[in-house]
């Protein structure tokens, strides 16, 4: 009886296996046949680009402009949005590993870019650059080299990320405070204090840190100005740097604003799921940590407000500690090595870097390449909302390029280290432990993770 | 059958087989579609995950790009604070959710069966949280727990001056998630109990009435024992789903604050897709499987010992 059962099980397995093989073979031949057909007949190639920005915030306009310019050259592009969070990126990566559906896509962090370059999910652009005499540093300066992986370019960085504190100019004016162009943590704290007023539902805070979304990243905006892009690591990259005085001062500053009531606490931020948009545009805070909600400032239908938004560089601990400018390149445009239309994708990528960026400026993304006119970018950035921005500070803080960006070069286990530190920051912000002890714990855990 | 007959008439290799073998071939042919599905989507991944749990595979490096590290993953996890915390939290969660859910479900279904008007609408209403999208439910509960939400206002109305900020509180985040889970699961368990209660033999209850048994006696001496197979079924399914809790955590707390609501499946997910440690994540998944397996085995044994239905 046992033998028979075994025999029939084996038999059925064999049958299943043979059926699978039979399925596999013809499917492959069909695919190759189709490809040959489209390429051979010289039909229009339609590229598929995936990005995390909603189509209506710029990408669609850029793609439309490209399609118009290239309709006679046989290249068209379609944009599809993926949500740029853990789940969305997993979806993108499985798609990339699975096949050729995506031709081009956007990568948003260095850690992801490294993973994708090393995992054969992004094409090494060296050959294409050499073939066309397309020198990246001509367009992006020496900083372009910071975004090479193992010495090679795997992407075209399309966006200049240069952030600063976002300020409600009306509140500053009312309190008689100048829009700061240079300030220390003490001055910042003092301004937070002056601008905080009211009680209960009417309370207006000095600053909102948006900690429910991320704690590490936002603290690092401040820290990177003194310590640079690799602020999580010691100089040789073998240990973590969380006990550096700059970390301690910065976390203490954030913690103090929360504990003294100048900023919503982390617990409030989490339990109310407070957003930057609702806090800042709703007039409940005088400052907020980052300008990526610029596209919402323009959206007065959803966020009705009439105050003027201004910008200031992030504060530093003391004068003379501004070694770097927070910022660097972002929006890394990659080509899928499995794409069937690599040449067409490369054409689009070059266009997107040097000409397409202007269409994204209206959505608050500053183009990285030097092929754009600064005034034009500022105008595009402000378009339709000239009354709602302080153009001078906007151009100075967000648009004018610098030559000392805090670009990251080490990404070893960066997600893990962020989570480890995040856990300690959460403990500090909810007022459970001392800053020094918690950061020491973060360093110990982080070093163990790096060693392991 | 027609296929078999047709083959028989023409004669050939098939008709020369023993009738038993022929039947087997026909039978397994019918099973084939299902078998293929099972092989492809269950059996192979299971074997594959066992295989990679002994490697240091980073899935972005591509298929086959791994080193075998023996049982290192299985040893490392016990030194990993996050894993240990996740394991403890998962156990706490299960131990709290399962008994309370089942007890409430039993009491509620008996009460509805005996003392309630409009049974159907009430049962349907109780089932709503279970059939609603878990994401929607979790988001509604985030609102409920906010400082101006009904839960906080209720606690304030009861005289607590500074109620905790539930989901941001190290002590209260887990109970808050547990409460939500009980609320959303109790309807399903109550539904299963209700259908069992309706099938209970009425003559036994009549006999008990004649003997002068009170309601409580009947509940504990008749209803509870009669329902024990249902209880057993519910305990097993609830324990398994509790061990696998993920979505409410991902939406309500993302494991925070600190590690206070990190559960196993959430940490497995972070390790695999956040830190790209597929091998390590697989080994934790296997520990989770072994845990569920052991618990289920123990329950089977207990069940056999107590009643032999």
Residues A125 and A78 in one domain: yes
Statement to judge: residues B34 and B117 lie in one domain: no
Statement to judge: residues B98 and B153 lie in one domain: yes
Residues of B with CB under 8 A from a CB of A: 20, 24-25, 28-29, 31-32, 35-36, 39-40, 58-62, 76, 81, 142, 145-148, 165-170, 256-259, 270, 273-276
- In this structure, the answer to whether residues B121 and B270 fall within a common structural domain is yes
- For residue A84, what pLDDT is reported? 86
Residue B59 lies in a domain: no
Question: Is A95 domain-assigned?
Answer: yes
> Is position B226 within any domain?
yes
pLDDT number for residue A26: 37
Domain assignment present for B65:
no
Do B90 and B223 share a structural domain? Answer: yes
Q: What is the ipTM of this complex?
A: 0.71
Question: Are A368 and A418 members of one domain?
Answer: no
Give residue B202's Cα distance to chain centre.
33
DSSP string computed for A250-292:
HHHHHHHHHHTTSS--HHHHHHTT--HIIIIITTSEEEES-ST
Decide if A12 touches B, using CB distance below 8 A: yes
Contacting residues for B52 by C-beta, under 8 A, at least 6 apart: B66, B278, B279, B282
Q: What is the 8-class DSSP label of residue B40?
A: I
Structural domain includes residue A235: yes
Domain that holds residue A445: 165-326+399-451
> Which of the two residues, B165 and A63, has the higher pLDDT score?
A63
Domain that holds residue B46: 2-52
Q: Do residues A79 and A122 both lie within one domain?
A: yes
Bridge partners of A197, per DSSP, are A204
In a domain, A152, yes or no: yes
DSSP code at position B42: I
Confirm whether A383 is domain-assigned.
no
Our count of domains for chain A comes to 2
For the record, the structure tokens of B193 come out as 């109990």
Please count the structural domains in chain B: 2
Q: What is the pLDDT of residue A39?
A: 42
Cis bond upstream, residue B257 (ω within 30): yes
Secondary structure element (H or E) that encloses residue A47, with its range: strand A45-51
Whether B11 and B109 map to the same domain: the answer is no
The domain that contains B248 carries what CATH number?
Answer: 1.10.3720.10
pLDDT given at position A4:
53
Do residue A144 and residue A274 come from a single domain?
Answer: no
**Mean pLDDT rounded to a whole number for chain B:** 87
Q: How many CA atoms within 13 Å lie on the side-chain side of B230?
A: 23
Read off the pLDDT of residues B77-133 as tens digits, 9 standing for 90 and up: 998 888 999 999 999 999 999 999 999 999 998 888 888 788 888 888 888 888 888
Size of interface A-B (CB pairs under 8 A): 87
Residues B35 and B180 in one domain: no
Name the one residue in this structure whose structure tokens are 């949280």.
B129
Asked if B115 and B249 sit in the same domain, the reply is yes
Sole residue written with tokens 């845990």: B291
CATH code of the domain covering residue A262: 3.40.190.10
Report strand pairing: A328-335 vs A285-288. unpaired
Residue for token digits 């999208």?
B133
Same domain, A153 and A187: no
| Helical axes A216-227 vs A245-259, angle rounded to 10° | 140
Q: Are strands A104-107 and A328-335 parallel, antiparallel or unpaired?
A: antiparallel
Query: Same domain, yes or no, for B30 and B89?
Result: no
Q: Which residue's entry shows tokens 């008689």?
A: A176
Closest-CA residue to B249 (of B42, B92, B50): B92
Cα–Cα distance between A25 and A399 in angstroms, integer? 54
A412, A264: one domain: yes
| pLDDT value, residue B147 | 82
CB contact under 8 A, B142 and A273: yes
Residues A322 and A176 in one domain: yes
Rounded CA-CA distance B94/B5 in Å is 55
What is the mean pLDDT for each group of 10 consecutive residues in chain A (452 residues)?
51 46 37 37 84 90 93 91 86 86 91 88 93 92 88 93 92 94 94 92 92 88 92 91 95 94 91 88 92 82 92 92 89 93 94 92 88 89 88 90 85 88 91 88 92 80
A48 and A91 co-located in one domain: yes
**Nearest residue in B to A91, CA atom:** B273
With respect to residue B60, please indicate whether it lies within any of the assigned structural domains: no
Q: Based on the fold, state whether residues B111 and B154 are members of the same structural domain.
A: yes
Task: Dump pLDDT digits (tens) for B268-286.
Answer: 999 988 888 899 999 999 9
Same domain, A240 and A321: yes
Cα B129 from Cα B141, distance rounded (Å): 11
Is the per-residue pLDDT at B148 higher than 90?
A: no
Asked if residue B66 is part of any domain, the answer here is: no
């Amino acid at each position: 009886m046992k033998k028979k059962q075994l025999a029939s099980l084996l038999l059925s397995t064999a049958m299943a296996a043979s059926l699978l093989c039979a399925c596999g073979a013809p499917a492959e031949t069909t695919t190759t046949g189709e490809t040959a057909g489209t390429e051979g007949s010289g039909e229009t190639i339609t590229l598929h680009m995936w990005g995390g920005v909603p189509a209506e915030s710029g990408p669609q306009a850029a793609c439309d402009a490209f399609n118009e310019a290239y309709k006679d050259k046989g290249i068209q592009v379609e944009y599809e949005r993926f949500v740029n969070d853990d789940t969305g990126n997993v979806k993108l990566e499985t798609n990339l590993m699975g096949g050729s559906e995506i031709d081009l896509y956007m990568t948003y962090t260095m850690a992801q870019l490294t993973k994708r370059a090393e995992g054969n999910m992004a094409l090494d652009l060296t050959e294409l650059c050499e073939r066309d005499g397309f020198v990246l540093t001509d367009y992006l300066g020496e900083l372009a080299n910071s975004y090479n992986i193992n010495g090679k370019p795997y992407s075209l960085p399309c966006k200049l990320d240069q952030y600063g504190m976002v300020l409600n100019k009306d509140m500053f004016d009312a309190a008689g405070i100048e829009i700061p162009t240079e300030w220390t943590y003490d001055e910042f704290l003092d301004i937070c204090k002056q601008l905080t007023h009211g009680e209960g539902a009417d309370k207006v805070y000095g600053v909102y840190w948006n900690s429910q979304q991320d704690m590490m990243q936002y603290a690092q905006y401040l820290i990177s100005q003194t310590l640079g892009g690799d602020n999580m690591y010691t100089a040789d990259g073998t240990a973590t740097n969380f006990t550096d005085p700059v970390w301690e001062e910065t976390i203490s500053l954030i913690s103090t604003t929360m504990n003294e009531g100048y900023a919503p606490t982390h617990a409030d931020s989490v339990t109310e799921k407070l957003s930057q948009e609702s806090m800042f545009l709703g007039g409940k805070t005088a400052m907020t940590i980052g300008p990526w909600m610029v596209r919402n400032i323009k959206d007065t239908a959803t966020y009705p407000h009439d105050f003027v938004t201004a910008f200031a560089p992030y504060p530093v601990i003391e004068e003379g500690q501004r070694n770097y400018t927070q910022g660097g390149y972002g929006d890394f445009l990659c080509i899928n090595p499995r794409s069937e239309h690599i040449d067409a994708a490369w054409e689009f990528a070059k266009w997107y870097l040097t000409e397409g960026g202007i269409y994204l400026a209206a959505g608050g993304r500053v183009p990285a390449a030097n092929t754009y006119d600064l005034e034009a970018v500022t105008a595009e950035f402000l378009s339709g909302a000239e009354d709602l921005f302080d153009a001078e500070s906007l151009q100075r803080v967000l648009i004018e390029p610098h030559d000392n960006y805090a670009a990251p070069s080490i990404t070893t286990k960066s997600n893990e280290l962020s989570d480890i530190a995040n856990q300690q920051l959460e403990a500090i912000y909810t007022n459970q432990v001392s800053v020094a002890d918690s950061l020491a714990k973060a360093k110990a855990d982080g070093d163990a993770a790096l060693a392991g | 059958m027609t296929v078999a007959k047709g083959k028989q008439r023409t004669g050939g290799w098939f008709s020369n087989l023993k009738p038993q073998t022929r039947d087997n071939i026909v039978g397994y042919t019918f099973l084939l579609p299902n078998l293929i599905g099972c092989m492809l989507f269950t059996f192979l991944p299971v074997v594959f995950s066992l295989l990679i749990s002994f490697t240091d595979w980073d899935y972005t490096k591509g298929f086959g790009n791994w080193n075998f590290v023996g049982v290192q993953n299985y040893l490392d996890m016990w030194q990993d604070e996050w894993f240990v915390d996740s394991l403890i939290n998962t156990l706490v969660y299960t131990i709290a959710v399962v008994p309370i859910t089942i007890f409430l479900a039993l009491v509620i279904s008996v009460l509805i069966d005996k003392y309630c008007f409009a049974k159907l609408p009430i049962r349907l209403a109780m089932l709503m949280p279970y059939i609603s999208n878990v994401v929607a439910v979790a988001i509604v509960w985030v609102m409920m727990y906010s400082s101006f939400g009904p839960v906080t206002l209720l606690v304030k109305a009861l005289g607590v001056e500074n109620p905790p900020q539930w989901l941001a509180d190290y002590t209260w985040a887990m109970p808050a998630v547990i409460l939500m889970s009980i609320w959303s699961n109790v309807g399903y368990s109550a539904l299963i109990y209700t259908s069992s209660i309706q099938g209970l033999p009425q003559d036994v209850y009549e006999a008990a009435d004649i003997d002068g048994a009170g309601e409580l006696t009947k509940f504990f001496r008749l209803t509870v024992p009669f329902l024990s197979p249902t209880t057993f079924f519910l305990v097993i399914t609830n324990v398994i789903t509790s061990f696998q809790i993920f979505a409410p955590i991902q939406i309500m707390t993302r494991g925070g604050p600190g590690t206070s609501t990190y559960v196993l499946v959430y940490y497995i997910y972070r390790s695999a897709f956040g830190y790209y440690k597929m091998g390590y994540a697989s080994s934790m998944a296997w520990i989770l499987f072994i845990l569920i397996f052991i618990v289920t085995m123990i329950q089977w044994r207990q069940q056999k010992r107590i009643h032999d239905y």
